[in-house]
A and B are shown apart, each in its own frame.
Chain A
Amino acid sequence: MVAMPAALEEGAMLDTFPRLLRHHANVRGDRPAMREKDLGIWQSWTWQQVADEVAAMACGLAELGFKRGDRLAIIGDNRPRLYWAMLAAQSLGGIPVPLYQDAVAQEMVFVLQDADIHIAIVEDQEQVDKLLEVREQCPALKHILYDEPRGLRHYTQTYLHGLDEVLAMGRIHNTNQPDFLGQEIAQGKTDDVSVILYTSGTTGKPKGVCQTHAAFIAAARGSMLFDHLTDAEDILSYLPMAWVGDHLFSLAQAVAAGFTVNCPESAETVMIDLREIGPSYYFAPPRVFENLLTQVMIRMEDAGRIKREMFHTFMKVAKRSGAEILDGHPVPAIDRLLYALGNLLIYGPLRNVLGMSRIRVAYTAGAAIGPDLFRFYRSIGINLKQLYGQTETCAYVCLQPDGQIKFDSVGKAAPQVEVKIADSGEILVRGPMVMKEYYKRPDATAEAIDAERFFHTGDAGFIDSDGHIKIIDRAKDVGKLAGGAMFAPNYIENKLKFFPYIKEAVCFGHDRDMVCAFINIDVGAVGNWAERRGLAYSGYTDLASKPEVVDLIRDCVGQVNAELATDAKMAETQIHRFLVLHKELDPDDDELTRTRKVRRGFIAEKYAVLIDALYSGKTHQFIETEVKFEDGRRGKVAADLSICEAKVEATGKAS
């Protein structure tokens, strides 16, 4: 059955996930709902089997005292029974709370306490050990259930139970009281909270985002219609279960549309499993796409000469016309012919190696994706698109429509979503998928959602003439030039960092009359570039000061300026002057955070003398900086930095 998603046909009564699950068991009971590779063989469960397992688990949980409104912690890799645990909790009117499985025990304490967890279902010994470690701090925790018994044979704690026991208990309960679960599911309401997802909390404590059945079902159905997803899709679920994106793809959409979720054998086998499953719908953060491309390129360099030549020849064809053909734009007949040949010889086999032969739609989000990377995948015929959203909006509010891909926008407002830009430049969104509230945090809820139910994303952006939304920066980082033009440092820095030669960049311009930048070169890429030219260098500082390298960077900055100039809102913020820093910005020197985000304020203070030099028109500046080495020793790096003028495009406005 590959018609309309059945959930849409019947409408109103299918308004909670447990009801949708029962519906699939009736309508497509013998189609695969879930697969997992175990002992080298893919095992399948049909919708009927999943419904039975979920029922047994729900009744088992009820036996342990789990009731309406209770929260159930779920910790582990993507395993079928952990997904079923979510549905089991929902069947009883409870709320699943997935936690990041790689968090250390102490990081879990806050969520376990905040969500007042009584029962936790975890994957294996590793997670059991963590919970045992913090059990003293979480006195409310009454039962720990585990999926994988390996290594747990000698654990004697009476509050530890194997899931098998709980399922057996649940089956007996279900036989004795066959009406119990049906009644529980009937009592569920569409605006009950269906899941609490904790935000990672880069600033302050994590907050529990409460989403309702209605919100996630709306989000799932909206994107299904948008991308024409059916019950025939196959997806590979390998991203953390605590992340909103996985909850949308692997639970909400799968249960709304009735398609098949595949769980990898282990975290290390994801790429092999991807090839074997050949998903039709796929999600990955940019770094995954980047790693795949790097692997392909390295293997191509090792290939024989004929293969290598063929690859490069046809990749040129793809670069010229691949993305246009995918978007249905007109392309000269000769290119169309060459592309068809390339598809046969190169692109098709390449897609197969990547495990992407069957992909109809692939999404990326979470970080800025480089335009070259993005174009590469689209040019070999993979319909890779970007989306934009938050935990608070069920993962997305903007999607790129097929055939209307702009590399630097995140697409249009998704169906049922209203997007507007506040006077401050902040993006505000309203729609059915906006969260109900932050758990037990009315103050934070009031701050995030205004009286008209618009959610304040904290991101600054604008809507272009075609209705596409461009994200430029976190709102708090956006400033203004002295002339009044908007200045979005992160937006410009990202453009710079898309060049392989530039590793890090810091732009300045708030309250100044022009934009200037610090640049860190990428030693690997620039070093390789220098070697090929026979340039000798002794280390980062030496390499960074070579006039040839400075010229290389000047070229990159010039190209960024040319791009900025094409955009009326950004033309004023072209980079006028820049310098190549004498040392790499480093978390050990507090210049970057541990997640490698630039600490703007600190850098501005530490290198004030360089900023003065940039804005005072000097051509040279001497600087000496203390650095910490990895072994804790300290040293000094000194250099006489040359300050360069960049090529700036005329902006139309006389200045």
Chain B
Amino acid sequence: MREIGDVILDLRSVSLAFGGVKALTDISFDVREHEIRAIIGPNGAGKSSMLNVINGVYRPQEGEVILRGEHFRRMDPYRVARAGIARTFQSLALFKGMSVIDNIMTGRNLKMKANLFQQAVWWGPAQREELAHRAKVEEIIDFLEIQHIRKTPVGRLPYGLQKRVDLGRALAMEPQILLLDEPMAGMNVEEKQDMSRFILDVNDQFGTTIVLIEHDMGVVMDLSDRVVVLDYGRKIGDGSPDEVRTNPEVIKAYLGASH
């Protein structure tokens, strides 16, 4: 049984602007180990910007990110990946022409030690290494129940399955923190249920800390331990799903009261 631990990721007074446009204004929240933390908000609230700050894609003008006690003025994607943070993308960024196995295998890249020459001649350590990685990839395929498509080129798969492959690639990194950018966008009810189950299973079985952005309020409330609500780049709510649901500011933002 998972137990929510100490703060693993802490964002303090983060502000981000693109020229004159303020995307995020003075945002602070934390993520605890093993929890499922959701970031919600209407369109343009700054959710994806937030994820990109954690991920090191955007550089905030102010504030800092504290990852396991280490302070960062800015993150960079390479260091983030090394630190055990993986992510999926809202607009899928898979290799369409490659098979499901190969796509998930790319998630193992950071863990491969063999050099280019060894990989090219496919001998000794490179071969042993690839076999071990392949075994890990097969475990993920089994976990996500996509055995029937393991050799299918990703471009030929329906959207819901591509999303699952995207999750598979992120899992292949064996991340400690998993960032999910709208994992259920564009899915039907059944696909959403499947995806919810996988997210809960990942969290439960591997103890992975999950930060997810989602539009679908119902899904978020069911899945998450704690929720941050953003609106126009500001934090307007933070707490358990029940607290957030009854927060008058949140209700106002979601019901579309005039600004």
A residues within 8 Å of B by Cβ? Answer: 38-41, 151, 153-154, 265-266, 268-269, 272
9 A-B residue pairs with CB within 8 Å: A38-B142, A39-B141, A39-B142, A40-B150, A151-B201, A265-B147, A265-B148, A266-B145, A268-B147
Q: Does B138 contact A (CB under 8 A)?
A: yes
- Among A39, A154, A268, contact of B148 (Cβ-Cβ < 8 Å): A268
- Among B1, B141, B145, B205, contact of A40 (Cβ-Cβ < 8 Å): B141
Q: Does B219 contact A (CB under 8 A)?
A: no
Can you list, as one digit per residue, whether each of B115-158 has a CB less than 8 Å from chain A (1) or not (0)?
00000000000000000001100110110010110110000000
Known contacts: A151-B201, A154-B1. The answer to whether A40 contacts B138 by CB under 8 A is yes
Q: Which residues of B contact A265 (CB under 8 A)?
A: 147-148
**Which of chain A's residues has its CB closest to B200's CB?**
A151
- Among B138, B201, B204, contact of A39 (Cβ-Cβ < 8 Å): B138
Complex CA gap A154/B138 in Å reads 25
Q: How far is the CB of B214 from chain A (nearest CB, A)?
A: 23
Complex CA gap A38/B204 in Å reads 23
Complex CA gap A460/B147 in Å reads 45
The 6 residue pairs across chains A and B that have the minimum distance between CB atoms: A268-B148, A39-B138, A40-B138, A269-B148, A265-B147, A269-B147
Q: Which residues of B contact A154 (CB under 8 A)?
A: 1
Main secondary structure of the interface of B (DSSP, over half): helix
Q: How far is the CB of A479 from chain B (nearest CB, A)?
A: 46
- Among A39, A153, A266, A269, contact of B135 (Cβ-Cβ < 8 Å): A39
Q: Which residues of B contact A153 (CB under 8 A)?
A: 204-205
**Which of chain B's residues has its CB closest to A41's CB?**
B138
**Which of chain A's residues has its CB closest to B1's CB?**
A154
Can you list, as one digit per residue, whether each of B98-128 has a CB less than 8 Å from chain A (1) or not (0)?
0000000000000000000000000000000
**Which of chain A's residues has its CB closest to B134's CB?**
A40
Complex CA gap A151/B145 in Å reads 13
B residues within 8 Å of A by Cβ? Answer: 1, 134-135, 138-139, 141-142, 145, 147-148, 150-151, 201, 204-205
Q: Which residues of A contact B1 (CB under 8 A)?
A: 154
Complex CA gap A41/B147 in Å reads 11
**Which of chain A's residues has its CB closest to B151's CB?**
A272
Interface Cβ pair total, 8 Å cutoff: 27
Q: How far is the CB of B13 from chain A (nearest CB, A)?
A: 39
Q: Are A272 and B139 in contact, with the CB atoms below 8 A? A: no
Q: Are A266 and B139 in contact, with the CB atoms below 8 A? A: no
- Among B134, B138, B148, B205, contact of A266 (Cβ-Cβ < 8 Å): B148
Q: Which residues of A contact B135 (CB under 8 A)?
A: 39
Q: Which residues of A contact B141 (CB under 8 A)?
A: 39-40
Q: How far is the CB of B198 from chain A (nearest CB, A)?
A: 11
Q: Which residues of A contact B145 (CB under 8 A)?
A: 266
Instruction: Given contacts A39-B141, A153-B205, A272-B148, list 20 more A-B pairs with CB under 8 A.
Output: A38-B142, A39-B135, A39-B138, A39-B139, A39-B142, A40-B138, A40-B141, A40-B147, A151-B201, A153-B204, A154-B1, A265-B147, A265-B148, A266-B147, A266-B148, A268-B147, A268-B148, A269-B147, A269-B148, A272-B151
Q: Which residues of A contact B201 (CB under 8 A)?
A: 151
Q: Which residues of B contact A151 (CB under 8 A)?
A: 201
Q: Which residues of B contact A268 (CB under 8 A)?
A: 147-148
Q: Which residues of A contact B151 (CB under 8 A)?
A: 272
Q: Which residues of B contact A272 (CB under 8 A)?
A: 148, 151
Q: How far is the CB of B160 from chain A (nearest CB, A)?
A: 14
Q: How far is the CB of B256 from chain A (nearest CB, A)?
A: 31
Q: How far is the CB of A39 from chain B (nearest CB, A)?
A: 4
Q: How far is the CB of B148 from chain A (nearest CB, A)?
A: 4
Q: Which residues of A contact B150 (CB under 8 A)?
A: 40
Complex CA gap A454/B96 in Å reads 62
Complex CA gap A266/B201 in Å reads 20
Complex CA gap A41/B131 in Å reads 12
Q: How far is the CB of A5 from chain B (nearest CB, A)?
A: 34
**Which of chain A's residues has its CB closest to B136's CB?**
A39
Complex CA gap A268/B157 in Å reads 14
**Which of chain B's residues has its CB closest to A38's CB?**
B142
Q: How far is the CB of A277 from chain B (nearest CB, A)?
A: 15
Complex CA gap A268/B145 in Å reads 10
Q: Which residues of B contact A38 (CB under 8 A)?
A: 142
Q: How far is the CB of A37 from chain B (nearest CB, A)?
A: 8
Q: How far is the CB of A628 from chain B (nearest CB, A)?
A: 25
Complex CA gap A41/B150 in Å reads 12
Complex CA gap A248/B139 in Å reads 33
**Which of chain B's residues has its CB closest to A272's CB?**
B148
Q: How far is the CB of B80 from chain A (nearest CB, A)?
A: 30
Q: How far is the CB of B99 from chain A (nearest CB, A)?
A: 12
Complex CA gap A154/B205 in Å reads 11
Complex CA gap A39/B137 in Å reads 9
Q: How far is the CB of B108 from chain A (nearest CB, A)?
A: 15
Q: Which residues of A contact B148 (CB under 8 A)?
A: 265-266, 268-269, 272
**Which of chain B's residues has its CB closest to A154's CB?**
B1
Q: How far is the CB of A260 from chain B (nearest CB, A)?
A: 21
Most chain-A Cβ atoms within 10 A of its Cβ — which of B135, B148, B150, B205? Answer: B148
Complex CA gap A268/B141 in Å reads 13
**Which of chain A's residues has its CB closest to B142's CB?**
A39
Q: How far is the CB of A495 from chain B (nearest CB, A)?
A: 37
Q: Which residues of B contact A269 (CB under 8 A)?
A: 147-148
Q: How far is the CB of B181 from chain A (nearest CB, A)?
A: 26
Complex CA gap A153/B207 in Å reads 14
Q: Which residues of A contact B147 (CB under 8 A)?
A: 40, 265-266, 268-269
Most chain-A Cβ atoms within 10 A of its Cβ — which of B142, B151, B205? Answer: B142
**Which of chain B's residues has its CB closest to A270's CB?**
B148
Complex CA gap A272/B201 in Å reads 27
**Which of chain A's residues has its CB closest to B140's CB?**
A39
Complex CA gap A386/B254 in Å reads 64
Q: How far is the CB of A500 from chain B (nearest CB, A)?
A: 28
Q: Which residues of A contact B138 (CB under 8 A)?
A: 39-41
Q: Which residues of B contact A266 (CB under 8 A)?
A: 145, 147-148
Complex CA gap A265/B204 in Å reads 25
Q: How far is the CB of B129 from chain A (nearest CB, A)?
A: 17
Complex CA gap A344/B135 in Å reads 38
Q: How far is the CB of A16 from chain B (nearest CB, A)?
A: 36
Q: Which residues of A contact B134 (CB under 8 A)?
A: 40
Complex CA gap A268/B147 in Å reads 8
Q: How far is the CB of A559 from chain B (nearest CB, A)?
A: 40
Complex CA gap A154/B151 in Å reads 34
Complex CA gap A368/B205 in Å reads 48
Q: How far is the CB of A272 from chain B (nearest CB, A)?
A: 7
Most chain-B Cβ atoms within 10 A of its Cβ — which of A40, A151, A153? Answer: A40
Q: How far is the CB of A157 from chain B (nearest CB, A)?
A: 16
**Which of chain A's residues has its CB closest to B148's CB?**
A268
Q: How far is the CB of B168 from chain A (nearest CB, A)?
A: 14
**Which of chain A's residues has its CB closest to B143's CB?**
A150
Complex CA gap A39/B134 in Å reads 10
**Which of chain A's residues has its CB closest to B137's CB?**
A40
Complex CA gap A272/B147 in Å reads 10
**Which of chain B's residues has its CB closest to A40's CB?**
B138
Q: Which residues of A contact B204 (CB under 8 A)?
A: 153
Q: How far is the CB of B134 from chain A (nearest CB, A)?
A: 8
